[in-house]
Copies of this chain bind each other. A is one copy, B any other.
Amino acid sequence: MRLLLINPNTTENITELLALRARDFAGPGVEIRAVSGRFGARYIASRAAAAIAGHAALEALAEHQAGCDAVLLACFGDPGLWALKELSPVPVVGMAEASCHLACLSGRQFSIVTGGERWAAMLREFVASLGLSSRLASIRTVAPTGAEIAAELDRALAMLAASCRACAEEDGAEAVILGGAGLAGLAGRIASGVPVPVICSLEAGIRATIAAAELRLAKATGGSLAGTPAVASAGLSEALAAMLDPGR
């Protein structure tokens, strides 16, 4: 099985980190092709950067999906998610989407702990777009930066654990998602200090993507997620233009 992991920002380091951790989670027998956005913000911390990333993810899909069995959109917040699902011939899973649905299996109410202040509003709208607002206990954006994590891991873990505990004890969460590439792999290290399950968004995403590949569900040929109606375009990569207008 081969998965395409799209990191829609333009920082190669993060893509590499995601690939490394994703391979750990996936185990042998799953090949992971990891690609970055060709253009856009270094990291995604605004609505504007997310909108650009949606386009960048489509370009990445068009260029790299050939031969892949499923796609993981590996930016917590899932920019361009439904456009990717529409365009792609194979299943696409978003890291935030997969985490939210998994969290719903684990608790009646779930919370999200992530970095980047603006993501609180953006993720609240994202969860609403999934129809899951009634299951969302809270979003807390108190995560350490990648640099802080590297420099003082213990302190960063303590801070994360404290946030997750607050989600459970003050906000009523029965499951907590550690969201974002920067926090990938840390859930397991703080779980013992949190009274409810802690979900790693990358692990949730990888498992859901593998499951989607194994299910071999057929690509829709009708409805709003069937391949796009053929339309000519301008100024796009050859690959993307061809996907938008297959018959040209």
Contacts and interface: CB of A to CB of B under 8 A. Distances in A.
A61 to B, nearest CB: 9
B217 A195 contact: no
Q: Which of A87, A199, A231 has the largest number of chain B CB atoms within 10 A?
A: A231
A236 B49 CA distance: 11
B45 A107 contact: no
Nearest to A55: B55
A104 B101 contact: yes
Given A83-B47, A132-B131, A225 B54 contact: no
Interface string A218-248: 1011111110110111111000100110000
Given A128-B134, A207-B215, A228 B104 contact: no
A228 to B, nearest CB: 4
Interface residues of A, number: 93
Contacts of A195: 220-223, 226
Nearest to A101: B101
Given A98-B105, A168-B222, A225-B107, A233 B80 contact: no
B236 A40 contact: yes
Interface in A25-63: 38-43, 45-52, 54-56, 58
Contact of A224 (B98, B105, B108, B203): B108
Given A49-B228, A192-B218, 9 more contacts: A39-B235, A41-B232, A48-B228, A97-B105, A108-B225, A128-B129, A168-B222, A174-B220, A197-B217
